[in-house]
């Protein structure tokens, strides 16, 4: 079969597609696997109970012969391309209740998961731009094409951004400052901070070759939460250079609120805030929510129309009542956040026990569902470490894939870290960390 250039771009094997296959195979395998590799959220019984009740109520309250009953409306009609209007209204009410953003329905669009939103947004703001200027007679001058990229102010970043551009990759990333910090009074932790001096001196920024700035907060893979000061600084730079600031809030507040540091969420008309229902425990319903200026919402709705006709209404149907009565926020505050906080405490204890006298550094756990471990001067790359752990039935993700926009061949740190999920049950976490400890201790011991 001959595929177009567009097709080739998507089907070529990448390192990450191989890893994702490994994760998929592990789930199918009959051998026990300590799955610390994927991005699935934990299955929290109290939360699933509420989803199930809502799901059942949706069916019970509906009548097959009544076209206006809620389940029939959701299943049997397309929404408009912007997304389910009642859910959007519920979100407008919710956000205006909890924040002073003064939103209207024109500020919100739905997508089929936030991954779908990033595909749209990165192609809207990254890639070839024609610079259509008018001459003194009001005639369009011959346009010049400018290639713009998405600026990731703090590498490492979410692996899922890497291949979403329809032609090539358009990222410019800034390497982090690495600060050693304490966590709950303990040593052995570090925190990435934005290197604003490097960022402000980027030729691409000064020369108009940046189309948008984007960061995940909390960050997948590290569990970092950029501080309010860092966010305000990024917002100021974005405004100064007349580009939007895209905030990937998949793990952030007010839902799922997997965030333990002191942080606040702000929005203005130059900010594109992306939410997801996935990490509250509904990745299967594929629902992303974009809050942005109406011009961006109109563009996303137009892309929805072409790519999807309309976004799925199933997530909207489940989440609408939970948004209307604030239950989504209560679940996040009372069940989801404490669950991951407990997992983080357990993971720190197990890691410290397993590798107490070894050069393990843990990124300060501030949120999200992952730990980011740095094995300084490890004698092998973490891609090789990943293979050794896989042989022993433990899956993690090596760090080199989390650096879109960075030349990882010339950045050793990008080969010294791993991401491990803390969403697994206690036994899996205990067994998986025991294997990591055993393999890593042996590597450092042999190198002495």
Ligand X SMILES: Cc1ncc(COP(=O)(O)O)c(C=O)c1O
Is the Cβ of residue 256 or residue 437 nearer to ligand X in the bound state?
256
Q: Does 71 engage in binding with ligand X (CB under 6 A)? A: no
Nearer to ligand X, 27 or 76 (CB): 27
The only residue of 93, 188, 208, 283 in contact with ligand X, by rule CB under 6 A: 283
Q: Least distance (Å) from ligand X to the CB of residue 41?
A: 9
Strand pairing of 171-173 and 144-152?
A: parallel
In the complex, what is the shortest distance from the CB of residue 344 to ligand X, in angstroms, rounded to a whole number?
16
CB 418 within 8 A of CB 382: yes
Segment holding 146, helix H or strand E:
strand 144-152
Q: Is 278 in the site for ligand X (CB under 6 A)?
A: yes
Query: Of 157 and 431, which CB lies nearer to ligand X in the complex structure?
Result: 157
Q: Which of 156, 160, 252, 367 binds ligand X (CB under 6 A)?
A: 160
Measure Cα distances from 406 to 157, 200, 223 in Å. 10, 17, 20
Q: Using an 8 Å Cβ cutoff, are 288 and 316 in contact?
A: no
Provide the minimum distance between the beta carbon of 184 and ligand X in the complex, in angstroms, as a whole number: 25
Least Å distance, CB 126 to ligand X, is 16
When asked if residue 304 is in the footprint of ligand X (CB under 6 A), the reply is no
34 or 312: CB nearest ligand X: 312
List binders of ligand X among 364-423 (CB under 6 A): none
Environment class of 124 (CB within 10 Å of its CB; exposed 0-12, middle 13-18, buried 19+)? middle
- Among 81, 127, 223, 288, indicate the residue that binds ligand X (CB under 6 A): 288
Q: Which of 19, 36, 237, 250 binds ligand X (CB under 6 A)?
A: 250
Q: How far is the CB of 107 from ligand X (least distance, A)?
A: 19
How far is it, in rounded angstroms, from Cα 142 to Cα 235? 33
Q: Enumerate residues 166-225 that contact ligand X by CB under 6 A.
A: 216, 220
Please provide the DSSP assignment of 327-370 as one string: HHHHHIIIIIHHHHHHHHHHHHHHHHHHTTTTTEEEE---BSSE
Nearest-angstrom CA–CA distance, 276 and 319: 11
Residue pair 83/117 in contact by the 8 Å Cβ criterion: no
Q: Which residue has the tokens 């996040």?
A: 332
Calpha distance 341→251 (Å, rounded): 13
Rounded to the nearest whole angstrom, what is the least distance from the CB of residue 250 to ligand X in the complex? 4
Sign of dihedral through CA atoms 225, 230, 236, 237?
negative
CB of 438 to ligand X, least distance (A): 28
Query: How many amino acids of this chain bind ligand X (CB under 6 A)?
Result: 14
307 CA to centre of own chain: 21
Our CB check for ligand X shows the closer of 62 and 261 to be 261
SS3 175: coil
Q: Is 190 in contact with 223 (CB distance < 8 Å)?
A: no
Give the Å distances, CA to CA, from 172 to 85, 165, 201.
Answer: 36, 13, 12
User: What minimum distance in Å lies between the beta carbon of 113 and ligand X?
Assistant: 3
Q: Report 83-122 residues binding ligand X (CB under 6 A).
A: 113-115
Binding site residues, ligand X, CB under 6 A: 39, 113-115, 158, 160, 216, 220, 248, 250, 276, 278, 283, 288
């Amino acid at each position: 079969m001959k595929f177009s250039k567009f097709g080739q771009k998507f089907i070529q094997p990448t390192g990450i597609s191989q890893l994702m296959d490994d994760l998929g195979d592990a789930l199918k395998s009959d051998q026990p696997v300590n799955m610390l590799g994927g991005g699935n959220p934990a299955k929290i019984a109290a939360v699933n109970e509420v989803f199930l009740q809502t799901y059942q109520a949706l069916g019970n309250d509906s009548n097959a012969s009544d076209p206006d009953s809620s389940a029939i409306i959701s299943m049997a009609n397309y929404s408009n391309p912007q997304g389910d209007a009642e859910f959007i209204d519920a979100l407008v009410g919710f956000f205006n209740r909890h924040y002073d953003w003064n939103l209207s329905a024109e500020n919100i669009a739905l997508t089929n998961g936030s991954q779908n939103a990033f595909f749209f947004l990165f192609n809207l703001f990254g890639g070839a731009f024609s610079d259509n200027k008018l001459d003194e007679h009001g005639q369009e001058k011959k346009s010049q094409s400018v290639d713009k990229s998405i600026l990731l102010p703090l590498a490492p970043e979410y692996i899922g951004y890497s291949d979403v551009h329809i032609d090539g990759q358009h990222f410019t990333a800034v390497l982090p400052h690495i600060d050693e910090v304490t966590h709950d009074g303990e040593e052995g932790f570090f925190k990435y901070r934005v290197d604003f001096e490097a960022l402000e001196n980027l030729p691409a920024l000064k020369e108009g070759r940046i189309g948008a700035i984007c960061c995940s907060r909390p960050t997948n893979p590290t569990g970092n939460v950029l501080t309010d000061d860092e966010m305000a600084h990024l917002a100021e730079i974005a405004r100064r250079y007349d580009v939007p600031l895209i905030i990937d809030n998949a793990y952030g507040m007010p839902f799922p609120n997997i965030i333990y540091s002191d942080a606040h969420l702000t929005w203005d008309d130059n900010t594109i805030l992306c939410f997801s229902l996935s990490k509250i425990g509904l990745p299967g319903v594929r629902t992303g929510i974009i809050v942005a200026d109406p011009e961006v919402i109109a563009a996303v709705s137009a892309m929805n129309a072409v790519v999807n006709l309309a976004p799925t209404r199933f997530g909207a149907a489940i989440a609408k009542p939970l948004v209307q009565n604030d239950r989504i926020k209560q679940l996040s505050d009372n069940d989801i956040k404490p669950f991951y906080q407990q997992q983080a405490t357990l993971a720190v204890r197990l890691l410290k026990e397993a590798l107490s006298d070894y050069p393990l550094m843990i990124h300060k756990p501030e949120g999200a569902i992952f730990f980011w471990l740095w094995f300084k001067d490890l004698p092998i790359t973490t891609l090789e470490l990943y293979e050794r752990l896989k042989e022993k039935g433990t899956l993690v993700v090596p760090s080199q894939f989390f650096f879109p926009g960075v030349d990882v061949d010339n950045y050793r740190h990008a080969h010294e870290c791993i991401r491990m999920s803390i969403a697994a049950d206690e036994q899996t976490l205990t067994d998986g960390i025991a294997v990591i400890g055993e393999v890593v201790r042996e590597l450092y011991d042999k190198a002495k």
